[in-house]
Amino acid sequence: MKHINFPKDFIWGTASSSYQTEGAYNRDGKGASIWDTFCQKSGVIADSSDGTLACCYYDNYEEDIRFMADAGIRAYRFSVSWPRIFPNGDDPAVNPLGLAFYDRVIDCCIRYGIQPHITLFHWDLPQSLSDRGGWLSAHTIEAFVRYAAVICEHFSDRVTYFSTINEPQIITKMGYYDGLHAPGYRLSMLETLDILHALAKAHALAVPAMRRAAKKPVKIGFSSTGNLCYPCSENEADICAARTMTFANTKENILFCHHIFCDAVINGLAPDFEALAPEITADLKSDDTLNFVTQHLKNVWNDCSELNPPLDFLGLNIYNGRKAGADGFTKRYAGFPKTALKWPVTPEVMNWGTRFLYERYHLPIFITENGLSCNDHIFLDGKVHDAERIDFLTRYLLQLSESIKEGTPVMGYFHWSFTDNFEWHSGYDERFGLVYIDYPTQKRIPKDSYYWYRNLIADSAE
Ligand code: GCO
Domain range 11-226+256-264+312-322+337-461, CATH architecture: Alpha-Beta Barrel (3.20)
pLDDT, tens only, 55-90: 999 999 999 999 999 999 999 999 999 999 999 999
Q: Domain residues of the chain, as ranges?
A: 11-226+256-264+312-322+337-461
Given this model, what pLDDT does residue 291 score?
A: 73
Using the mean position of ligand 1's atoms as its centre, give its distance from the Cα of residue 362 in Å: 25
How big, in percent rounded to 5, are the helix, strand and coil portions of the chain? 45, 15, 40
Which atom of ligand 1 lies closest to the CA of 317? 7
422 pLDDT higher than 60: yes
User: Above 60 in pLDDT, residue 37?
Assistant: yes
> Is there a contact between 125 and 82 (Cβ–Cβ < 8 Å)?
yes
Per-residue pLDDT tens digits for 82-125: 999 999 999 999 999 999 999 999 999 999 999 999 999 999 99
Q: Examine the residue annotation and report whether 369 is marked as an active-site residue of this protein.
A: yes
Per-position DSSP letters for 136-183, written without gaps between them: GSHHHHHHHHHHHHHHHHHHTTT--EEEEEE-HHHIIIIIIIS-SSTT
For the CA of 373, the closest atom of ligand 1 is 6
Distance 433 CA to ligand 1 centre (A): 12
At position 32, the amino acid (one-letter code) is: A
Q: Which of 167, 369, 402, 423 is catalytic?
A: 369
What's the CA-to-centroid distance between 369 and ligand 1, angstroms?
8
- Which residue in 227, 234, 223 sits closest to 199, CA to CA? 223
How far, CA to CA in Å, does 188 sit from each of 97, 126, 253?
A: 39, 23, 16
Look at residue 410 in the predicted model and tell me its pLDDT: 98
Q: Quote the CA–CA distance of 207 and 209 in Å, as a whole number.
A: 5
Instruction: Give residues (CB < 6 A) around ligand 1.
Output: 17, 20, 166-167, 170, 225, 317, 369, 416, 423, 432
Residue 191 φ/ψ, nearest 5 degrees: -65, -35
**What is the 51 CA–ligand 1 centroid distance (Å)?**
15
Q: What is the C-alpha to C-alpha distance for residues 370 and 227, in angstroms, rounded to an integer?
A: 14
